[in-house]
Amino acid sequence: MRARTATAILLGLAGMTAWSWRGVAPHSSDLPPADELLAAAQTSPNTLIVDFRDDITDQALAARGYVDEPISRFSATDRMYRIRFRTPQEAEDAASKLRADPMVESVDYDASVSLFPEDWTPTAPPVDAPECARDNSPGVTGTGFPNDPCFRYQWHLRQIGLPAAWKLGQGRGVVVAVIDTGVSRVPDLQDTRLVPGFNFVADNDKTDDDHGHGTHVAGTIAQTTNNARGVAGIAFRAAIMPLKVLSSQGSGSMAAIAQAIRFAADHDANVINLSLGGPFPVTPVRRAIEYAYRKGVVVVAAAGNDGRGRVSYPARYPDVIAVAATQWDETTTFYSNWGKQIDIAAPGGNMRVDQNGDGKPDGILQNTILPGGARTGYLWFMGTSMAAPHVAGIAALVVGAGVTRPDAVQVVLVDTARKPKPVSSTRGRRIDDHYGAGIADAGAALRKARSARGAASLGLGAALSLLGLAGARRRERFGGAGVWAFAGALVLGSSGLFFLPSLGAPEWLCNSPIGTGALGSAALLLGPAGQGNPLLWSALLPVSAVALLYGARSLRPALAGLAFGVAGGLLFAACAYTADVRLVPDVLDRAWLAANALLAAGLGALVLRK
């Protein structure tokens, strides 16, 4: 009994060691410098954005004597309004008065936001449509995976470890909110799932792109892939939530961005991409990011294209993964901002060079609308706006692999970032203010999120089963077939055959319930509804199986193995704190997971007894 107990403990410790968990604090954000606050006031000196308490009544608003202009229809619930004044002095006097009002949460000048310079103006002609259009003739369509004919120009996807990483995950069941100029269903997004979003510019449900930037960003994240057409996207099984906050000129309001972030968090987005920004802090945006983070949403933002040592907002805020841009040779680009808030780097491209010698500019290639919106094409853009969706796409892959808490996703991304060629450094450690932890690596991130997590879950499940066997004085004895049934159910309940990709198994098998295990298959089977579902992240599966099948004595080994396996997966999620359980307060997530792990383990021990 002692030997079994010692073995159980060692297996559990080995499992946790395989994960190599260590926390990463979100980057710090100093208080906004006085010059930034002054500059913000000067950009729109006559207009304020006022965020009242959500419980303020219409009568109380009217009693304050201001003409409160809604940002969108959501102002009726979040109580955020724009107030215009005739002179800057009137606005300044009102701001002082409102900041002293107990029913006011924040007062800011109405700073505008825009697309960063460089990244949205195509400086090279688009790829000819026939070259990237669907065509199964030899020499046009690729012969491997993916078979998209213009994938050969997407050096940027190979820089982050694709297509090899796709065997480990493709983002199924994940929703990525693209807060940008909208998203149009161009030909190479035909099979990509779009979920309902909102247009905060026109205050309606029409989220088509009238610029091109948002569609290009969405393509990097989830362009339809392996469809013998065009180009590929990173998390091509993920869904896109289009949230239009920028006009056809690429400008908009920070207040609308704040509302869009809250919309995404309230409508089950898992990841938010913000390929936009400005030099000024706006309190409602910071508060919206904090709100989304608390609700389990990963927020990714572009660092800015000023080529200076000051990261733009909102990337500069804590709880945001700030992304710098690299080019083909893995140096950071001439335009990429830098600073201590940079978390990671990813391909942003440099259209002024052709370092790889393919005869094309080294930009980021995706299918989008051409300026004016009348036609579509395959265009190269460059900028940190293009780098951010590479990280958002990898984050979607990690979330799809079962690591759903924002801080845990950041740990995976940072710990697995690889050193760029020009830098001598070790993986997972901060390099400098230009790269952060290094270049995002989809394959390494998925291996940590899935393979190492699978080994840890299996180790803990095996440890719990040995403890259960050691604690049962009189237990079921089963023959060879029963042993195999127990072991197989233990594996499927905890981790699945997580090692299949290393054995060269086909992608469909690696990303099936057999390859991902009971907990990992939730999103595969149920889509976004399976991410963090409290019924699935619980002991419900083994409890239901035992309730229905306990009477069949021959199935009891499998039932016990399933219970211990699920217990191992839940216990790992509780210890490593990787899963955000929906509808359960953050402070209770670990308690929920641990309690259900103990319930499942206790059930397994009960099934083993005669």
Kindly state the helix (H) or strand (E) to which residue 491 belongs, with its residue range. Answer: helix 480-494
Kindly state the helix (H) or strand (E) to which residue 252 belongs, with its residue range. Answer: strand 251-253
Domains of the chain and any CATH numbers:
2-24+446-608 (no CATH), 45-110 (3.30.70), 129-440 (3.40.50.200)
Q: How far is the C-alpha of 108 from the C-alpha of 265, rounded, in Å?
A: 23
Q: How far is the C-alpha of 442 from the C-alpha of 453, rounded, in Å?
A: 16
Q: How far is the C-alpha of 222 from the C-alpha of 234, rounded, in Å?
A: 6
Q: Could you tell me which of 248, 22, 17 has the C-alpha nearest to residue 114?
A: 248
Query: To the nearest 10°, the Cα dihedral for 8, 12, 17, 18?
Result: 100
What are 208-227's pLDDT values in tens digits? 999 999 999 999 999 999 99
Per DSSP bridges, beta strands 104-109 and 47-52 are antiparallel
Burial class (CB in 10 A: 0-12, 13-18, 19+), 549: middle
Q: One-letter amino acid identity for 541?
A: L
Residues 171/235, Cβ–Cβ less than 8 Å: yes
Q: How far is the C-alpha of 112 from the C-alpha of 278, rounded, in Å?
A: 8
Q: How far is the C-alpha of 570 from the C-alpha of 453, rounded, in Å?
A: 11
Strands (E), 27-137: 47-52, 69-70, 80-84, 104-109, 112-114
What are 329-375's pLDDT values in tens digits? 999 999 999 999 999 999 999 999 999 999 899 999 999 998 766 68
> What's the pLDDT band for 20 if we cut at 50, 70, 90?
low
What are 183-194's pLDDT values in tens digits? 999 999 999 999
Kindly state the helix (H) or strand (E) to which residue 589 belongs, with its residue range. Answer: helix 589-608
Q: How far is the C-alpha of 165 from the C-alpha of 145, rounded, in Å?
A: 11
Instruction: Name the residues annotated as catalytic.
Output: 180, 213, 385
Compute CA 245 distance to the chain's CA centroid, rounded to the nearest angstrom. Answer: 20
What are 447-473's pLDDT values in tens digits? 998 888 888 888 899 888 888 777 665
> What's the pLDDT band for 592 if we cut at 50, 70, 90?
very high
Kindly state the helix (H) or strand (E) to which residue 376 belongs, with its residue range. Answer: strand 376-381
- Residue 30 vs residue 316, higher pLDDT: 316
Note the residue count of the chain: 610
What are 396-449's pLDDT values in tens digits? 999 998 899 999 999 999 999 999 877 655 555 678 899 999 999 999 999 998
